[in-house]
Amino acid sequence: DVVPTSERYAVRRLPFARLGERDVAFFERLLPGRALTAQEEVKPFNVDWLKSVRGCSQLVLKPQTTAEVSQVLRYCYEKNLAVNPQGGNTGLVGGGVPVFDEIILSTALMNQVISFDKVSGILVCQAGCVLERLNEYVEEQGFIMPLDLGAKGSCHIGGNVATNAGGLRLLRYGSLRGTVLGLEVVLADGSVLDCLTSLRKDNTGYDLKQLFIGSEGTLGVITAVSILCPQKPKAVNVAFLGCQSFAKVLETFTTCRAMLGEILSAYEFMDEKCMELVERHLKLSSPVADSPFYVLIETSGSNSSHDEEKLSNFLEQAMASGLVTDGTVATDDKKIKASRLRERITEALTHEGYVYKYDISLPVGKLYDLVDDMRARLGQSAKNVVGYGHLGDGNLHLNITAESYSHSLLDAIEPFVYEWTARCSGSISAEHGLGFKKKQFIQYSKPRGAVVLMQQFKAMLDPKGILNPYKTLPSAP
């Protein structure tokens, strides 16, 4: 069983009230049949997807409307009860589960599409909609969601926005900071902030939604989202390539960007160790034989013959110049699904024991040096050190596996990994956020003045500190 987070990390509980019978009775009246207290029902909400952190909440609330979320927070604010907002619970930094006994506010039942405009492609929906369901919904209307990630079958759009999730389509469609047009948010005291606009251009005052995108549930609970969906590309092609060195992976990217231009939608890389784990644990086979590095390129366009011609010209050049040693192109859905090996690396890694996960932004030229340096540093003390990620936007996923959690191994990794990243002017979290596990390392990526300003925003919007405490920011002095 997972050791409670508070014990493993020696955190002290803040002076919040403790849940009493009267409180439970209030919530049972407010949300009949949707206030879970049975230990077996509550247990899954207390443990994160990686089974690396565990809280001990005794109550899970499942509101269906913004009004209910508002009533829940108003009550908790008055009574000084801490609240842990939770979406699909697919986060990787411990931000979505309680540290102590915070009440879990689950958005699971807030899963309605509010509206969709077929001309503009603007979708308005509740925060608990599952990303994959939304993608299926807009696909029927000829559009796609602007983000795509491995956890799409269970993550919620509200959680995606709260963590500013990146994923595989960021290279083409940009981040949620650009595609989210409006938000509805319930603040700590229960007041509702309705900034659910569906305008692409609105230059009146401060852009308040940006405060909540990436705030990890610490400033307010996102209840609805307005998001711009791109048109569904008529032609999608995937190329899976083998490269002999990371230098060749980089050169291939430069060539690829020059030759594919506007149709390039993803450029992902993985090392041979990743491929080995996916093949061994998930019984998937690589379309390309043994290579030190693999590259997955996706193109999305409106003219299949034009795109295929561009892609085959690029592949010809890449093979002729020795950048790529082997490659295959997939155009039909089945092949594309088969070559989505990259999405399932996280899943394969969980079969290896305990996983130390790092999600880092670096200058592209230095991306893989960190993996080499970490292998040299850890030697035999780690089972595997692997690197993969979104090369197109400089995002490395560094994963280190061991039979089980070891404090001495963690000490060998941290803060070395953060110091290394800071020296290269990188970011210690490219897309997973800081959550509980990374909050005390924020200074490696942000100057002290910026952290102080963040703490001031937190104090202003949540003066009692009840929203997702112990997360994202180091404790204010």
Whether 470 is covered by a domain: the verdict is no
Bridge partners, residue 51, by sequence: none
* Predicted structure pTM score: 0.93
Residues 6+ apart with CB under 8 A from 42: 36, 57, 58, 59, 60, 104
Q: Do 210 and 180 fall within a single domain? A: yes
Residue 62 CB neighbours (<10 A) = 19
Bridge partners, residue 258, by sequence: none
For the residues of 152-192, what is the DSSP string, one character each? TTT-BHHHHHHTT---TTHHHH--HHHHEEEEEEE-TTS-E
Please give the helix or strand (H or E) that residue 301 lies within, else none: strand 293-301
Domain end (from 343, 367, 386): 343
Whether 461 is covered by a domain: the verdict is no
Q: Do 59 and 136 fall within a single domain? A: no
Residue 288 pLDDT: 86
Whether 464 is covered by a domain: the verdict is no
How far, CA to CA in Å, does 91 sit from each of 50, 150, 434?
8, 11, 10
Q: Do 60 and 160 fall within a single domain? A: no
Q: Do 131 and 223 fall within a single domain? A: yes
pLDDT in tens, the chain (477 residues): 788 988 888 899 999 999 999 999 999 999 999 999 999 999 999 999 888 899 999 999 999 999 999 999 999 999 999 999 999 999 989 999 999 999 999 999 999 999 999 999 999 999 999 999 999 999 999 999 999 988 999 999 999 999 999 888 888 999 999 999 999 999 999 999 999 999 999 999 999 999 999 999 999 999 999 999 999 999 999 999 999 999 999 999 999 999 999 999 999 999 999 999 999 998 888 888 889 999 999 999 999 999 999 999 999 999 999 999 998 888 776 666 656 777 789 889 989 999 999 999 999 999 999 999 999 999 999 999 999 999 989 999 999 999 998 999 999 999 999 999 999 999 999 999 999 999 999 999 999 999 999 999 999 999 999 999 999 999 865
Residue 476 pLDDT: 65
Domain end (from 210, 228, 246): 228
Q: Do 137 and 242 fall within a single domain? A: no
Residue 318 CB neighbours (<10 A) = 24
Relative to beta strand 180-186, strand 35-36 is unpaired
Residues 6+ apart with CB under 8 A from 247: none
Residue 226 pLDDT: 98
Q: Are 293 and 244 in contact (CB under 8 A)?
A: yes
Whether 476 is covered by a domain: the verdict is no
Domain count, the chain: 4
Residues 6+ apart with CB under 8 A from 33: none
For the residues of 331-356, what is the DSSP string, one character each? -SHHHHHHTGGGGGHHHHHHTTSEEE
Q: What CATH number does the domain containing 356 carry?
A: 3.30.70.2740
Q: What CATH number does the domain containing 152 carry?
A: 3.30.465.10
Whether 460 is covered by a domain: the verdict is no
Q: Do 118 and 11 fall within a single domain? A: no
How far, CA to CA in Å, does 404 sit from each of 3, 186, 274, 308, 362?
12, 40, 19, 46, 29
Q: What CATH number does the domain containing 295 carry?
A: 3.30.70.2190
Q: Do 221 and 240 fall within a single domain? A: no
Whether 477 is covered by a domain: the verdict is no
Domain end (from 343, 365, 395): 343
Dist CA 468 CA 80 (whole Å)? 13
Please choose, from the candidates 254, 253, 390, 238, the residue with its C-alpha nearest in 3D space to the C-alpha of residue 301: 238
Q: What CATH number does the domain containing 24 carry?
A: 3.30.43.10
Q: Do 215 and 277 fall within a single domain? A: no
Please give the helix or strand (H or E) that residue 215 lies within, else none: none
Biggest alpha carbon–alpha carbon distance for the chain: 74
Residue 240 CB neighbours (<10 A) = 23
CA torsion through residues 419, 420, 422, 428, sign: negative
Whether 437 is covered by a domain: the verdict is yes
Residue 229 CB neighbours (<10 A) = 24
Q: Do 143 and 130 fall within a single domain? A: yes
Q: Are 423 and 360 in contact (CB under 8 A)?
A: no
Q: Do 270 and 163 fall within a single domain? A: no
Q: Do 221 and 118 fall within a single domain? A: yes
Q: Do 285 and 240 fall within a single domain? A: yes
Residue 392 pLDDT: 87
Bond before 415 cis per omega within 30 degrees: yes
Whether 71 is covered by a domain: the verdict is yes
| Strand order from edge to edge, sheet including 192-195 | 113-117, 122-126, 221-228, 180-186, 192-195
Dist CA 64 CA 44 (whole Å)? 20
Domain range for 52? 5-109
Q: Are 345 and 278 in contact (CB under 8 A)?
A: yes
